Structure formats: C-alpha cells, structure tokens
Chains A and B, each alone.
Chain A
Amino acid sequence: MKGNFISFVKKESLHILRDKRTMLIVMLIPVVLMILFGFAISTEVNNIRVAVVAPERTDGICDAVEKISQNSYFTFCGYINNDDVDNKLRTNEVSAVIVFASDYDRRVALASEGIPTKPVIQVIVDASNVNSAGAATAYLQNILLGAESQQSMFETRMLFNPQMKSAYNFVPGIMGLIFILVCAMMTSVSIVREKEMGSMEVLLVSPVRPVKIIFAKMIPYFAISCIVLITILMLAHYLLEVPMTGGVGGILSISILYLILSLALGLLVSTIAKTQVVALLISAMVLMMPIMMLSGLLFPIENLPKFFQVVSNIVPARWYIDAVRKMMIQGESITAVWQNCAILFGMTVALLGISLKKFNDKLE
C-alpha cells in the first residue's frame, strides 16, 4: 500500500499549489519581514538633528561641532538661541540640543592637563522615543568625551557585530516566527479543514492509516518551509550581510529540527481545534504571541520579569533563536549549542508523542 501514501502527498501538494493566494503569502511574508526588519525597522538611530547653543563660538566649541556634523549619525542644524531650545524641540525641528558652557575651552584645557573637571556640556534630548533618545545620548557622549577626556576608563570593543546592525539580531527571530507560521499554523488549519468538510470521515473509512494521512499532509509544508529557510538564509547573507561564520550546515540542521517541532505543534493544535477559525486563533495567540514576547525576539529575556523568564523556558523558539544567533553571528559551531539542540530534540519527541496519541484517541 505504498501507492496510497504517494497519492496523498500529491493531493496535498495540489491543494497548496491551487491555493495561489496563500502560497504567495507564505513565500512573500519571509521576504517582506526580512526587508522590513533589515532596513526599515531598525534600532540603529540615524540622522539625529542636532542644534547647538553656545555663548560664543570659541575654537574648542567649533572643533566639537565639526566632529558632530561630520558624523553620519548626526545632522547639524546650526546654532540657536537659548530661548529657542524648547520651541525647536517641540516642533520637532531638532531632536537634540547641545548646550556649551561659557568656560568650555578653559575646562577642556584643564582636563587635558589631568585635572578633573565637572560636566560642561548639557545635552537636551527629545525623549518621546526612548530608544532613539538613549542612542543619541550615547553617541554624543562618545563623540564629545571620547576626544576630550583622554583618560576614559572604558575601552569598548563591540564583538561579533561591530557596526551594531540590528538586522543581525532580527534574522534569527524572524526564522523562529516564520516556521511556526508555515508549519504549525498552516498544517493545523489544513487538518482541521478536512474535519470541517467531512472528508476526514471518508478518508478514515478508507484503508489508509490515519498516521499516513497526517504525515502526507506534513510533507508538502515541510518542503515549503525548506524553500523558505533557504530564501531567508540567502537574503540574510547576501542582502543583509549577516556573517554566518558558524557554518551553514549547523544552522540548517537545527532549523530542520525546529521545523519538525513546529509540525508537531500544528498536529497538536489540530487535535484540539474543531474549526479552522479556532485553529487559526490558537496558532496566533498560543503559539505566535509567546514567540514575539518571550523568545528574545523583541525583548531580551534577561529584561523580563522573573515569572516570564521561567515561562520562556517552555517556548521552543527561545532555544532555537538563541542557538541560531550564536551560530549566525558569534560564529559558534553546532557543538557549542548542543544544549539548545538537546532541549529542542526533547521537545520535538514529546510533542510528537503527545499529538499522535491525542490524534489516535480522537478517532475512536
């Protein structure tokens, strides 16, 4: 009865191919997300408009302004009056104002002789966007103090991502999200659709073993996910220039493990949901939300409240994203993330076991 399995795989592939709209969405979402996160949405802050308040334009101040206007992160918007500061910030003409004290030059001179001085520069930042305000302050401090106070205690080196590109951070996160979407959501919806239409009943009266029906469903989605995986990796490497020094083989292996896990999750959802809408909701709320919030995709896990840190341990994406990040950006090999692999493997086995058992129980 090998023939019937192949007929099923063919049938499922046809279902997917005929549904052009869904197919297009599945193929396009990863590309759009990659481009969005890679270019449009980024936590890097560029083109911060800066104005300067200076009592008189001394050499020292001119030097500092020169440094700022040459930096690509800043756009120098000219000197303004003390009274204009509030207005300029309020109207969004500038997002930061640097105020120099009148004895700026004298203090800089003292500092260069090694005599500790008090801060002489005030930075007023529009903090309605906390992220960019923080970044702007940090940059400014770097530019102004880095040059002036030679005896800085910190020497910072950014490892693995020296340019601090946010794309590096997002690519693994997108991968963690997309595969749940394609594998878990689409598989569960397609299984539940058969139940809803009544075709599952007809299939169960046929000599095909139910497990075969399920696996035949998973194969085309698995194939699509593999195509998506390769697309994402290519985009990441060639378009966003993510290094992937850890070796593509390792990333592929752990991704395939994660794909199987997602398929098992989809099967589990399909045993719970009775209608396609419910399957969709469960996938979105129970599977996707934790990935967004608790997997380190948007917020670092260390910053979460203790309770959610504990909860995040059962979110598979957390382990996957963490491992991919290490391999993609830090250049670790797969052996360095064996713990993540083991956890994911354990989860996959457990989920497959539970969902297959639930599926079989439901039939009788």
Chain B
Amino acid sequence: MNDIVISVKNLTKRFGNFTAVDNISFDVKRGEIFGFLGANGAGKTTAMRMLCGLSYPTSGSGSVAGFDVMHEGEMIKRHIGYMSQRFSLYNDLTVWENMRLFAGIYGMTKKDTEAKATELLTQLNFLSERDTLVGSLPLGWKQKLSFVIATIHSPEVVFLDEPTGGVDPITRRQFWELIYKAAESGTTIFVTTHYMDEAEYCSRVSIMVDGEVGALDTPTRLKQEYGVESMDEVFRILARKAKRGE
C-alpha cells in the first residue's frame, strides 16, 4: 500500500507571462492533515485547482490518489472530496436530499447511500433533522454537514478550501474535531485557511510565497526554525518576503 497520497514534483502553471505556481514540490502522506497556506495571490488556489483535476499544469508532474494530474483529471475527481467556504449545500433541499444528490453524483447505489448517510448523521447526532431544509440551519451546522457530505463517498483525499470562514471559534473547534476523526480513519485532509490558529492544528504546513513553497514543516519545527511563538508570526515573516502585490 502506497502511503504517499499526494505527490507533486516541480509543478508549474503559467498564464501567459505570469507564473502563478512556480516549480513546487511536496508529498502528503495518508491520514495527514496538510495545511496549505499563503497570502492572497500567492498561488494557493491555482495549485489546488491542478490537484483537483480542474486545470492542467504547464510543466512538472504530480499524482493524487495514485492518478496523474496531467492525464487523469477525471479519475482524480472520482477519488477526492471537495468543500469550499463559498458554497455549503443547497438551501432549498433537505439535509437528506443534499446527501442523496452528492452520493448520486459519485455513483453510489441507493443502498450504500442510505447506510452511509444514516451513519454520518448518527455520528453528528443529527439524524432527527434529516428532513429539515438546509436553508433553515445555522451556518455552523451547514459547514459541518458540508464536510461530512464531502466525505460521503469515502474519498482518499478531501480538499477543504477555507472551510471555516465566517463561523465562531466554538463551531470552528467542533469542525476541527470532525477533521481529526476523518484523518484518524485514514482520509487525507488538504486544507487552506486564513486562520493561523487552525494552522497549528495541522500535521504539516506549507506556506506559499510568490508561487513557490516558502516553508514546509510541522508547525512546531517551523516555529523553532523562525524562533517565534506562533504560526501567525511565521506567516508574517514569510509574507513580508513577497514581492507580488495582492
């Protein structure tokens, strides 16, 4: 069993003269929570899009869940989950209908869907609300549901694009407990965030500066290396080096 789930070598993406992602390389192991940080415009989103099979690299190579990012984008899509802060579930559908839709998208059978959805809702202690319209739920619940739905088809990697925007610290804490649980059961988590306290929760953190990987290590070692107390300071030191504007 291969324990490297995401492997990236010299990955580069250019748009005309502009190099959005410049020669980045890293590996992510199974069950890791990999924090992917960077200021706006540092190339985070572009890199993530390539890993999700949404755009093709200009040069370099990479594989996600054992599939090549250059040629097997469609296969990658089947084996990953994705959640973004901008959208969490359809408000005019019930919890159950949302789950059924996403299970259906990944080609799960009716029986599997029933079993998995019941299991996930029971874990969340939310089974009684299965027929509630998502629109009437608080934001924190929507995001938690959004996360479990992103994992409904048991993907190998889940990409979380700033998943906790706009929620209070307590809900964020609960959200991270869900992430930990998923990681413990072997799902790899690839998460971008602007909250530096969340960066501390990650197993390893990569900080992008001007399209390159500026630093990559565990939060503890990063803090030691830069001789500071918090990830926030590490991030500031690195971000100051950036030459690109917003």
Contact = CB atoms under 8 A, between A and B. Distances in A.
B90 A11 contact: yes
Contact of B93 (A8, A11, A198, A206): A11
A23 interface: no
Interface in A199-215: 199, 201-208
A202 B107 contact: no
A41 to B, nearest CB: 36
A201 B90 contact: no
Contacts of B159: 205
Interface of A, secondary structure class, is helix
B78 A207 contact: yes
Interface residues of B, number: 28
A300 B103 CA distance: 54
B87 A197 contact: yes
A208 B55 CA distance: 15
Nearest to B159: A205
Nearest to A202: B87
A59 interface: no
Contact of B106 (A8, A197, A204, A207): A207
A19 B93 CA distance: 11
Nearest to A11: B101
Contacts of B77: 205-207
A213 to B, nearest CB: 10
Contacts of A205: 52-54, 77, 80, 82, 159
Interface string A177-210: 0000000000000000000011101111111100
A14 B54 CA distance: 28
A198 B87 contact: yes
6 contacts: A7-B101, A8-B105, A18-B93, A204-B54, A207-B78, A207-B106
Interface of A: 1, 3-4, 6-8, 10-11, 14-15, 18-19, 197-199, 201-208, 364
- What 8 A-B pairs come out closest when comparing CB atoms? A7-B104, A198-B86, A198-B87, A205-B82, A18-B92, A207-B77, A207-B78, A199-B87
